[in-house]
């Protein structure tokens, strides 16, 4: 917690220094050099595994201030050659499934073996609930205090698209800061699972046994995305139910067509609280990385993901540019009334609107 | 079949008359009047329930000729006040499930009670397989010969978006031609089910019992869209299996959250071949219409669908306009190489591309 406060403080200092420089009347060239200098020095510290610098850079990514955005862009671009080297793991599961406990157990297992772990979160609901994921400071107490771990809550007050972009850029910085494993946590709100799936190498679905919960997973089509289903809280009285659920999931998974990765998704049992089954799950992930690195899928998927993000960003921007024009907004409202009254078709209305920008 | 030939012939005549008129050097005003006159006369005939005129108008919708597109637009616009009055039913199911037999049985049941039925198809694969849906002339033999029925195969040589637009416009014309029920058939290729779902009032999933087929439906997330699941071929030796599947589906459906329509999706058995269970399914659809008309969902959904199509059309057009520019294509290729070589992020690349059109 003190580390976090310190980071927040130093970020604030960084920002105010910046603003002072910008508000003075020094020449633009000098100003630019200053920005570059700052970017370079932040990057140098990130590469030196300085967590405060990493935190400050992520705050810059999240800032709505244009100067910060420019600075963040420079930092990311300079970090790029040092990125791309971690294993990126997505973890999802409904509230109550024990995500924090599981991530803490997995994280501790990794730091014990000398690995450095960063945990980021994507939680589009956090703007409403003021941060339900990783927001509670009492969560992951052990991991928070671990020098080899870095935990960052979800950016708030943003659309899913906005959070996604910021998280993906944060991954680059974490990798430049030498983290071996980057975990992206999400809760099944809206499309957040699909978004996380499109930025990780390995996608893990955390489940509980019993109470019809098995089918709830199938419902959202998440099963298809999962590289592993982990049934948590498989201990005590739950063990029998958990084993039954494991059989059921295995049966269901076998009905799906073979994945492009050539990887057969696994169903594992785990008791994160008792630290049981966690190392097996890590071995399973390593096995996945080995197989997919060998058959070329690992690299291919990362390239596909980058292309997907490029196209997605363009689409979103085209749409938002179009619809934010007041001229379009007025005409859109007019056309919607015409459609409601059966005076025009959606297609003719679309043509009318599109003509306005030509 | 002879009816179809006749319609194709008269369409050809219509086109060549048009082209002759256009190739002559008469004034543009006269030409325009001619086009309008044609639109008006076609609409008059459509409203008069003339199937040949309806077929010709749909052919105009499907044409790539700009003059035909203009003419089609006029026709649709004039038909609009007479549209919107049918019950629109989407029917999907994997090949072999007995879609044609089911549609024929349902269609005959409706025409026997005095209703007029139009059957359209959305089959994005038809451009490859040259029309797998409704393309085979031996299918729906009885319904084809029925005066109260109209069957039109899927437009071919098109993207799913293209076929979808044309089908949605064809629905308007069928409704203007006084059809009480419009059935849209599709096979589960790509996103075609989602597209059909977004243009119908009632979405029906046709299934077979046994052979793990139950889970295959869940896999694609279609179950969530279905207002009814009909297990076909529930006869003879299959009956027992069908009843078991019915129980399984009912159990699964009850786990889903309540639909906005306030309608609890039903699971019915049917033997389309033996004409068993078909009238029950129609009663079920009528029940759905009654409930959703009463609670306002029916109208609300149609309005939402129109809005969806408006936004969808705009999005697709913005994207296609953007990516078809040669300048963008060149830069896109350059940026993709940079991304592959880890020299830029997808987001910076997107910014670069977007700047080109500003």
Residues of B whose CB is below 8 A from A161: none
Contact yes or no for A347 and B313 at CB 8 A? yes
Using a CB–CB cutoff of 8 Å, tell me whether B347 touches chain A: yes
Q: How many helices (H) and strands (E) does chain B have?
A: 15, 7
Give the least confident one: A62-76, A125-139, A222-236, B240-254. Answer: A125-139
Strands B266-269, B87-92: pairing is unpaired
Chain B residue with CA closest to A300: the answer is: B340
Integer Cα distance of A335 and B134 in angstroms:
35
| Bridge partners, B182 (sequence order) | B88, B118
Coil, strand or helix at A43: helix
Q: Looking at CA atoms only, how far is residue A340 from chain B in angstroms? A: 6
Comparing A83-87, A333-337, B252-256, the range with the smallest average pLDDT is B252-256
Residues of A in contact with B340 (CB under 8 A): 303, 306
Q: What part of A 133-192 touches B (C-beta under 8 Å)?
A: 165, 168-169, 172
CA B171 to mean position of chain CA atoms: 8
Residue B63 CA to residue B67 CA, distance in Å, equals: 9
Q: Map tokens 């680059």 to a residue.
A: A172
Share of chain A above pLDDT 90, in %: 56
Q: What string of H, E and C letters represents the secondary structure of B213-239?
A: HHHHHHHCCCHHHCCEEEECCCCCCHH
Does A313 contact B350 at a Cβ distance shorter than 8 Å?
yes
Distance from CA of A195 to the nearest CA of B (A): 15
Task: Note whether B102 and B91 are within 8 A (CB).
Answer: yes
Q: Which residues lie closer than 8 Å to B103 by C-beta, 6 or more apart? A: B91, B119, B140, B143, B183, B185
pLDDT higher for B223 or A60? A60
Q: What is the mean pLDDT of chain A?
A: 83
In this complex, which of A77, A256, A307 lies closest to B336 when CB atoms are compared?
A307
Domains of chain A: 2-81 (no CATH), 83-296 (3.40.50.300), 304-355 (1.10.287)
In this predicted structure, the answer to whether residue B193 has a pLDDT above a threshold of 90 is: no
Contact residues, chain A, for B343 at CB < 8 Å: 80
In this complex, do B344 and A80 lie within 8 Å of one another by their Cβ atoms? yes
| A309 and chain B in contact, CB less than 8 A | yes
Answer whether B300 touches A (CB < 8 Å).
Answer: no
Mutating which of A225, A304, A350, A355 best tests the B interface, going by the most B Cβ atoms within 10 A? A350
Please name the residue of chain B whose CA is at the shortest distance from the CA of residue A211.
B255
Question: CA neighbours within 13 Å on the CB side: how many for A160?
Answer: 14
Distance CA A107, CA A101 (A): 10
pLDDT at residue number B20? 43
Q: Do B350 and A317 touch (CB under 8 A)?
A: yes
CA distance A196 to A90: 6
Residue B286 predicted with pLDDT over 70? yes
* Measured CA angle at B260 (ends A324, A159), to 5 deg: 30
Phi first, then psi, for residue B293 (nearest 5°) are -70, -40
Average pLDDT, chain B: 83
Does A317 lie at the interface with B, CB-CB under 8 angstroms? Answer: yes
pLDDT at residue B210, rounded to an integer:
67
What element of type H or E holds B256?
Answer: none
Cβ partners under 8 Å of residue A250, min gap 6: A267
A324 interface with B at CB cutoff 8 Å: no
Residue A243 confidence (pLDDT) above 50: yes
> For residue range A165-191, what is the model confidence (pLDDT) as tens digits?
899 999 999 999 999 999 999 876 667
Pick from B307, B114, B274, B283: nearest CA to B199: B307
Residue A31: band (very low, low, confident or very high) from pLDDT cuts 50, 70, 90 = low
The string of pLDDT tens digits covering residues B27-48 is 555 555 455 558 999 999 999 9
Phi-psi region of A345 (alpha: psi -120 to 50; beta: other; left: phi over 0): beta
User: Which residue from B minimizes the CA distance to A222?
Assistant: B219
Q: Does A216 touch chain B (CB under 8 A)?
A: yes
Using a pLDDT cut of 90, give the percent of chain B over it: 56
How many angstroms separate the CA of residue B347 from the nearest CA in chain A? Answer: 6
List the single residue in B with minimal CA-CA distance to A314. B350
Test the A interface: residue of B225, B300, B346, B352 with most A CBs within 10 Å: B346
Return the residue of A nearest to B70 by Cα.
A348
Say which of B306, B308, B315 has its CB closest to residue A319: B315
Strands A202-207 and A87-92: parallel
Distances (CA, A) of B331 to A34, B130, B323, B337, B338: 31, 36, 10, 10, 10
pLDDT tens digit sequence for A20-29: 444 455 455 5
CA–CA distance from A247 to each of A213, A225, A236, B220, B275 (Å)? 14, 19, 18, 22, 40
Region B233-240: mean pLDDT is 91
Does A211 touch chain B if contact means CB atoms closer than 8 Å?
no
End-to-end Cα distance, chain A: 54
Q: List, in sequence order, every residue forming a beta bridge with A268; answer none if it has no partner.
A: A230
- Whether residue A72 contacts residue A39, with contact meaning beta carbons closer than 8 Å, is answered with no
pLDDT tier at B10, thresholds 50, 70, 90? very low
Does residue A276 contact residue A233 with C-beta atoms inside 8 Å? no
Picking from A80, A318, A343, the nearest residue to B319 by CB comes out as A318
Q: Tally Cβ neighbours within 10 Å of residue A33.
A: 12
Q: Using CB atoms, pick whichever of B219, B315, B317 lies closest to residue A224.
A: B219
Write out pLDDT tens, residues B56-113: 999 999 988 889 988 999 999 999 999 999 999 999 987 788 899 999 999 999 999 9
Q: CB–CB of B214/B207 below 8 Å?
A: yes
Rg (CA), chain B: 23
Nearest to B172 by CA among B63, B71, B79: B79
Beta strands A181-186 and A202-207: pairing type?
Answer: unpaired
DSSP string for residues in A259-289: PTT----EEEE-BTTTTBSHHHHHHHHHHHH
Report how many Cβ contacts below 8 Å link chain A to chain B: 128
Tokens of B91: 């029917």
Tokens of A52: 């405060």
pLDDT at B190: 63
Say how far apart CA B201 and CA B183 lie, in whole Å: 10
Tell me if A175 sits within 8 A of A49, measured CB to CB: no
Residue B1: pLDDT band (50, 70, 90) is very low
Do A350 and B313 make contact, defined as CB atoms within 8 angstroms? yes
Hey, which residues 247-266 in chain A have their CB within 8 Å of chain B? 252, 255-256
Say which of A310, A313, A353 has its CB closest to residue B314.
A353
Rounded Cα distance, B74 and B68, in Å? 10
Comparing C-alpha atoms, which of A5, A233, A210, A9 is closest to residue A102?
A233
Does residue A35 sit at the B interface (CB-CB below 8 Å)? no
Per residue in B122-150, pLDDT (tens digit) is 876 654 444 445 555 457 888 989 999 99
Q: A244-248, B104-108, B185-189 — which one is most confidently predicted on average?
A: B104-108
Q: How far apart are CA B240 and CA A342, in angstroms?
A: 48
Instruction: Give the residue on A whose Cα is nearest the Cα of B252.
Output: A215
Beta-carbon contacts of residue A1 (< 8 Å; ≥ 6 apart): A137, A144
Alpha helices in chain A (DSSP H): 2-23, 28-47, 51-62, 66-79, 99-112, 126-129, 141-145, 160-176, 192-197, 213-219, 238-254, 278-294, 297-324, 326-340, 346-355
Six token digits for residue B189: 């290729």
Helix axes A326-340, A346-355, angle to 10 degrees: 160
Q: What is the ipTM of this complex?
A: 0.75
**Residue A165's closest chain B neighbor by CA?**
B347
Cβ–Cβ under 8 Å, residues A232 and A97: yes
Q: Are B148 and B109 in contact (CB under 8 A)?
A: no
* Cβ neighbours of residue A315 closer than 8 Å, sequence gap 6 or more: B315, B318, B319
Mutate which of B328, B350, B357 to test chain A, going by most A C-beta atoms within 10 A?
A: B350
CB contacts, 8 Å: A343 with chain B: 80
- Of residues A137 and B269, the one with the higher pLDDT is B269
Beta carbons within 10 angstroms of residue B339's beta carbon: 19
Crossing angle of the two packed helices A99-112 and A278-294, in degrees rounded to 10: 70
pLDDT interval class at B217 (50, 70, 90): very low
**Count of alpha carbons within 13 angstroms of residue B28, beta-carbon side:** 1
Q: Would you state the structure tokens that stand for residue A9, as one six-digit string?
A: 């403080």
Q: Do B73 and A219 touch (CB under 8 A)?
A: no
How far apart, in whole angstroms, are the C-alpha atoms of residue B354 and residue A311?
11
User: Quick check: B310 contacting A, CB < 8 Å?
Assistant: yes
Judged by CB atoms within 8 Å, which residues 53-112 of B form the interface with A?
Answer: 73, 76-77, 80-81, 83-84
Most confidently predicted of A48-62, A137-151, B241-255, B257-271: A48-62
Q: How confident is the model at residue A245 (pLDDT cuts 50, 70, 90)?
A: confident
Distant-in-sequence, close-in-space partners of B324: CB < 8 Å, separation ≥ 6: none
């Amino acid at each position: 917690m003190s580390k976090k406060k310190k980071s927040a403080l130093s970020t604030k200092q960084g920002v105010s220094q910046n603003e002072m420089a910008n508000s003075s009347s020094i020449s633009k060239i000098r100003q630019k050099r200053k920005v570059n200098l700052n970017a370079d020095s932040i990057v140098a510290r990130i590469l030196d595994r300085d967590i405060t610098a990493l935190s400050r850079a992520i705050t810059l990514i999240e800032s709505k201030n244009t100067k910060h955005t420019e600075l963040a862009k420079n930092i990311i671009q300079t970090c790029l050659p040092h990125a791309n080297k971690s294993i990126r793991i997505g973890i999802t599961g409904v509230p109550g499934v024990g995500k924090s406990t599981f991530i803490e157990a997995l994280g501790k297992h990794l730091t014990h073996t000398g690995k450095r772990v960063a945990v980021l979160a994507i939680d589009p609901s956090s703007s409403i609930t003021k941060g339900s994921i990783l927001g509670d400071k009492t969560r992951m107490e052990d991991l928070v205090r671990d020098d080899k771990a870095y935990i960052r809550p979800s950016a708030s007050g943003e659309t899913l698209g906005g959070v996604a972009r910021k998280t993906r850029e944060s991954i680059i910085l974490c990798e430049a800061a030498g983290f071996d494993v980057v975990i992206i946590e999400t809760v099944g709100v809206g499309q957040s699972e699909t978004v996380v799936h499109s930025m990780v190498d390995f996608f893990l679905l955390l489940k509980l046994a019993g109470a019809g919960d098995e089918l709830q997973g199938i419902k959202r089509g998440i099963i298809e995305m999962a590289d592993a289903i982990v049934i948590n809280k498989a201990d005590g009285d739950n063990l029998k139910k958990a084993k039954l659920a494991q059989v059921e999931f295995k049966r269901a998974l076998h009905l799906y067509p073979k994945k492009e990765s050539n990887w057969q998704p696994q169903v594992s049992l785990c008791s994160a609280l008792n630290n049981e089954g966690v190392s097996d799950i890590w071995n399973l992930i390593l096995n996945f990385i080995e197989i997919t690195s060998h058959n070329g899928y690992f690299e291919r998927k990362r390239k596909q993901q980058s292309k997907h993000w490029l196209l997605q960003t363009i689409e979103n921007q085209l749409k938002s540019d179009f619809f934010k024009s007041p001229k379009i907004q007025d005409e859109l409202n007019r056309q919607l009334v015409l459609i409601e009254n059966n005076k025009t078709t959606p297609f003719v209305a679309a043509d009318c609107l599109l003509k306005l920008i030509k």
